Amino acid sequence: MQRFDVRELLGTATARTGLSDFGPEDFLEGLTVLVNGLNDEAEIRADRWEFVHERLQRLLINRLWFAKDLAEHPEILDEDEGSPVIIASLPRTGSTKLHRMLAATGDFQTVPLWKAHMFARIPGLDDGGKARRIAETEAYERWIYETSPAILTGHPLFTHEAEEDQWLAESAFRHPLIFGLFDSLQYAQWLFAADMRPTFVFFLSQIRYLQWQAGLSKAKPWLLKTPNHMGNEAALTECFKSPKFIVTHRDPVRCIPSITSTSMAMRRLYSDRDSSLALGAGALQLFANAANTHMGWRDQNPDVPVLDLSFDEINRDGIAVARKVYEFSGMFFSPEAQAATRAWEARNPREKHGTHHYSAAAIGTTDQGIRDLYAPYIERYARYIS
């Protein structure tokens, strides 16, 4: 069995770029725990070892290119990202539809998949290597659907469409996305006890970097989204100036089995082992803790703007929901934005890519077991949950 080695990974990335500054060194702890988990637990397929190696190389090389740009252009960190709108919700609550539908208006700054997958400029190439970065992301998009087709019915990824910024934050090596990708109990245990602030500090620098690359301004607010923002609102409000939060809601009985099935489809990119039970148990506790932390944060910070939306209303009337978001954000919902919203919704009916199958039994629990664990959340947001 081939094994990963932290020194080899770092050395190879350095040899391939001629660079040695990876940026803040707090990523090394997470990388080391991950490498140990990959070697000891994850059961990576022999024919997928190189794919995992290249995934880690991509993350490290992007860090090297980023650090080079920061050294040469320190003004990057002076970028003013303004006050973002952050979707921080349990997974599978209609947040992806809301995010992509709003992004289609052009009124927000968002992170398309290619900018998350290859976030750093490539030295020596025209336009920061944009064409190559897009081409590599398109190749990755084709590969994931060829390798694990169920990804398309769970959470489809598209090179040019707005995507969860967790794919950007993956390069911090301290993020639940990595737990979703690889079956490693030691990584999960380390992560769940880890301080997440270094991830968000690095994430803020990445957002400023993307804004600097594009020559954008804070005239258009950032629209950020990933389920792992829920429970991390305190860190987000430390990093970003006056953020506004949107929370989408749905019955956890639907959410948690669904995200487990979706994450299992991603795990099958690299391993054949069915780890649904362990993944489901981890997801149940991870998001229950996130929901409880979120509620506590809201109690302590009643002045921070939060807009609650239900899964049903998002799927019933996109225009009405978008109008709520624009009003909440203090923005004008122009006729052009309304037309773009309608057009996106028409192009993307629910289950466009097929039916996504999941159940509580598949993750070793029951509907009632989930409801018991999420009882405080369900009681508090009953009006939004169906």
Whether 194 is covered by a domain: the verdict is yes
The pLDDT of residue 72 is 98
Distance CA 334, CA 112 (A): 23
* pLDDT level of residue 155 (50, 70, 90 thresholds): confident
The pLDDT of residue 353 is 57
Which CATH number do you get for residue 147? 3.40.50.300
Distance CA 53, CA 209 (A): 26
Which residues on neighbouring strands pair with residue 31, listed in sequence order? none
Q: Measured over all CA atoms, what is the biggest interatomic distance in the chain, rounded to whole angstroms?
A: 59
The pLDDT of residue 51 is 97
Q: What is the pLDDT of residues 204-222, one digit of tens each?
A: 999 999 999 998 766 799 9
Beta sheet of 244-249, edge-to-edge order: 223-225, 85-87, 244-249, 306-310
Q: Report whether pLDDT(83) > 60.
A: yes
Q: What is the pLDDT of residues 111-148, one digit of tens each?
A: 999 999 999 999 999 999 999 999 999 999 999 999 99
Distance CA 257, CA 254 (A): 6
- What burial class does residue 350 get, using C-beta atoms within 10 Å of its C-beta: 0-12 exposed, 13-18 middle, 19+ buried? exposed
- The percentage of the chain sitting over the pLDDT mark of 70, rounded to a whole number, equals 97
How high does pLDDT run on average in the chain?
A: 95
Q: Report whether pLDDT(238) > 70.
A: yes
Count of structural domains, the chain? 1
- What burial class does residue 316 get, using C-beta atoms within 10 Å of its C-beta: 0-12 exposed, 13-18 middle, 19+ buried? exposed
- The percentage of the chain sitting over the pLDDT mark of 90, rounded to a whole number, equals 93
Whether 1 is covered by a domain: the verdict is no
Q: What is the pLDDT of residues 303-359, one digit of tens each?
A: 999 999 999 999 999 999 999 999 999 999 999 999 999 999 999 887 665 565 678
Span 175-191, mean pLDDT?
Answer: 95
Whether 30 is covered by a domain: the verdict is yes
Distance CA 53, CA 37 (A): 14
Whether 235 is covered by a domain: the verdict is yes
Q: Report whether pLDDT(1) > 60.
A: no
Whether 330 is covered by a domain: the verdict is yes
- The whole domain housing 131 covers 6-384
And the tokens for 179?
A: 């737990």
Q: Report whether pLDDT(269) > 80.
A: yes
For the whole prediction, is pTM greater than 0.75?
Answer: yes
Distance CA 288, CA 252 (A): 9
What single letter denotes the amino acid at residue 180?
G
Helices (H), ranges, the chain: 6-17, 27-40, 49-72, 95-103, 113-117, 130-147, 151-154, 166-169, 176-181, 185-193, 197-214, 233-239, 252-267, 276-300, 311-316, 318-329, 335-347, 367-373, 375-380
